[in-house]
Amino acid sequence: MTKNIFMSYSRRELGFVDDLVSKLEGENYDVWLDYRALVPGSPWNVQIDKGLQEADTVLLVVSNASIASDYVALEWQHFLKTNKRFILLIFEAVDLPKELEKFEWVDFRGSYKAGLEELLSQLKQPIQEEHPVPETGFKAPWIVFLAVAVSAVVALISLFEYWTLFIPWILVPLPYRIYKRNFNFTHVQTALLALPIASLLSVIVYDDPSLDSVVLIGFVFGLILLFILRSSAMQRWGKPEAIIPKYINPYDAKIQNPTPISFYVDYAVQDRAIANDLIETLKKYGHSQVDNIQDAKAVFALISLFKSDTEAIPEKQMLFPILIQTNNNISKKLSRIQWIDFRPGVRGLDTIAQLLPNPKELLKALGMRPVSSQTVYSPLITAIYYFIIFLTMVNIGSALQYIISPPDALFTSELVELVVNMVLFGGLAYFMVSGLTSRTGLFSRLWPILIGVVGLGILTLWQKDLDGRIAEGMIDAGVGEDEIAASFVNIAEYIYLLGIVTIGFVFFRNRRDAKRWFPAKK
């Protein structure tokens, strides 16, 4: 009977693998999963060979990515020589290598529950010598088709909020992206949360009773879609960027005098603030910093857009990649190691220093699954990001309201002012968001961001003044005050003030994150 299982898979199916491993462990199987089992400082090939040798069965998650992976191929080719049990888990229909066609398989493309029951049944039985070839063709869990259908309704509703630009930009192609598994969960969640707000603003401004149903439908279907996308079934279906980020839960190890370890912090100069805090904490607990990376027993590699690799040797040194910023081009040699995630904020420095002599316990305490493609920011950066996005959405909506349906009293000069204001606002917001999230360019530092926020306030007041002049012109032209519709501009002022208060509160609680996020000067 199978007791020890080796999981062979591609990172693109990490959501599925994580859930499956959890279910197998719940049935008292011992599962070898690379990013949880590989311990820094010991040769990977030795650890993988040991995992394969100790396993009774290898479960190979079959997908386009896994069959194309050199790492995965090495694992199953090595295991075939041992004549142990081999079961294929069909996640996607793909042409199998000839060597794999003869093995047992379980189809997970449709019902996950049925596939899991079949797998557990097979694991309790002897090896099946005869079995049919896996069926070809596309299959997916029923919830995927439901998600596509609901997202299609949401996509249509989002077209009513064309004035926001980013909502339809994200939600219109979403049905196809769900089918292809390549949507960004964080971006979609932002658009879904913004949709009912934008719809409500449209009702207030346009004073059109027919839009009430649009608001209701958008709100209901948006919530349903968000619930579906967050469900365990969709979390298994999506690629890493389409699943909810899992954060660490730092705790105090209460080890005041750990065994001293020589260490080296490998970082780009832009990440100096975080590196200095880490170095200071490690020294506080008695660890010694060395000048040469090769002389260190433990190496912390701070990964950001400014640094994707390290000269440390993970087979010989305790290597701990620390993710500062999302980076899709991380070195392959780091892809199989558990990471420490500082993207939501720098936390757990004391725990790192206390548990450094015991890397297995350190990674158990703070490690995360290695997913670099998810979009994650600290609370402060997230607050600024949403503030700029929502304010820009209202500003553009205010301008488009006049540009698309200009009142008779609108002069050419005022129309030009509207366009100029909208272009300046949109351009400033774009470069602010780009610099803030990428940590590059003019707005990659705190002071330019603060000046940019002031600039957005000035442009908001300018637009409000322009709106007032247009209203006065309409009154002078004989339009009654009760006939002049409300404007987005009046709302923008309150959004700006509320945003400033919110950012101030978040900044006060997370001011260290600002120092650590914005890149240091060279």
Give the whole-angstrom CA distance, residue 44 versus residue 273: 32
Q: What is the mean pLDDT of residues 4-33?
A: 89
Least confident range from 214-223, 248-257, 336-345, 513-522: namely 248-257
Are 367 and 379 spatial neighbours (Cβ–Cβ below 8 Å)?
Answer: no
Q: Is the pLDDT of residue 369 over 70?
A: no
The three-state DSSP-derived secondary structure of 485-497 is: CCCHHHHHHHHHH
Identify the bridge partners of residue 74 per DSSP, sorted by sequence position.
Answer: none
Read off the pLDDT band of 24 (50, 70, 90).
Answer: very high
Q: Is the pLDDT of residue 247 over 70?
A: no
Measured N-to-C along each axis, helices 488-509 and 446-476 cross at an angle, to the nearest 10 degrees, of 160
Q: Please give the full DSSP string across 458-478, using - where no structure is assigned.
A: HHHHHHHHHHHHHHHHHHHTT
Instruction: Give the mean pLDDT of the chain.
Output: 84
Give the whole-angstrom CA distance, residue 320 versus residue 413: 60
Across 28-42, 196-210, 496-510, the highest mean pLDDT is recorded for 496-510
The DSSP letter of residue 102 is T
Residue 490's nearest CA partner among 468, 469, 458 is 468
At 274 the three-state DSSP class reads helix
Q: Is 83 left (phi over 0), alpha (psi -120 to 50) or beta?
A: left
Least confident range from 51-55, 86-90, 341-345, 405-409: namely 405-409
Q: What is the mean pLDDT of residues 93-103?
A: 84
Q: Which residue has the higher pLDDT, 265 or 480?
A: 265
Give the whole-angstrom CA distance, residue 26 versus residue 204: 52
Q: Is the pLDDT of residue 73 over 90?
A: no
**pLDDT for res 20:** 93
Q: How many residues does the chain have?
A: 522
Read off the pLDDT band of 408 (50, 70, 90).
Answer: low
**pLDDT for res 64:** 87
Are 104 and 86 spatial neighbours (Cβ–Cβ below 8 Å)?
Answer: yes
Are 299 and 318 spatial neighbours (Cβ–Cβ below 8 Å)?
Answer: yes
**pLDDT for res 414:** 77
Could you tell me whether strands 104-107 and 262-266 are parallel, antiparallel, or unpaired per DSSP bridges? unpaired
Read off the pLDDT band of 447 (50, 70, 90).
Answer: very high
The token duo for 314 is 């993970």
Span 315-341, pLDDT tens digits: 788 888 898 988 878 887 777 677 888
Span 122-137, pLDDT tens digits: 888 877 656 666 666 6
Read off the pLDDT band of 147 (50, 70, 90).
Answer: very high
Q: CATH topology of 4-123 equal to that of 262-368?
A: yes
Read off the pLDDT band of 413 (50, 70, 90).
Answer: confident
Long-range CB contacts for residues 319-324, cutoff 8 Å, separation at least 24: 319/40, 319/41, 320/40, 320/352, 320/359, 320/362, 320/363, 321/370, 322/274, 322/278, 323/372, 324/271, 324/274
Are 390 and 256 spatial neighbours (Cβ–Cβ below 8 Å)?
Answer: no
Q: DSSP alpha helices (H): ranges in 348-440?
A: 349-355, 359-366, 379-404, 412-438
**% of the chain at pLDDT higher than 90:** 33
Find the farthest-apart pair of alpha carbons in the chain and give their distance in angstroms, rounded: 91
Are 55 and 5 spatial neighbours (Cβ–Cβ below 8 Å)?
Answer: yes
Q: What is the mean pLDDT of residues 505-520?
A: 89
Give burial (CB, 10 Å; 0-12/13-18/19+) of 387.
buried
Are 24 and 6 spatial neighbours (Cβ–Cβ below 8 Å)?
Answer: no
**pLDDT for res 86:** 87
Are 21 and 369 spatial neighbours (Cβ–Cβ below 8 Å)?
Answer: no
List phi, psi (to 5°) of 320: -120, 100
**pLDDT for res 53:** 85
Read off the pLDDT band of 465 (50, 70, 90).
Answer: confident
Q: Is the pLDDT of residue 484 over 60?
A: no
Q: What is the mean pLDDT of residues 187-201?
A: 86
Read off the pLDDT band of 269 (50, 70, 90).
Answer: very high
Read off the pLDDT band of 248 (50, 70, 90).
Answer: low
**pLDDT for res 194:** 86
List phi, psi (to 5°) of 90: -80, 105
Read off the pLDDT band of 396 (50, 70, 90).
Answer: confident
Are 320 and 297 spatial neighbours (Cβ–Cβ below 8 Å)?
Answer: no
Give the whole-angstrom CA distance, residue 152 versus residue 199: 17
CATH of 262-368, one of 3.10.20.520, 3.40.250.10, 3.40.50.10140, 3.40.50.12500: 3.40.50.10140
Q: Domain 4-123 class?
A: alpha beta
Domain boundaries, the chain: 4-123, 142-242, 262-368, 379-517
The DSSP letter of residue 356 is T
**% of the chain at pLDDT higher than 70:** 86
Across 181-185, 438-442, 510-514, the highest mean pLDDT is recorded for 438-442
Residue 340's nearest CA partner among 290, 382, 278, 429 is 278
Read off the pLDDT band of 37 (50, 70, 90).
Answer: confident
**pLDDT for res 488:** 58
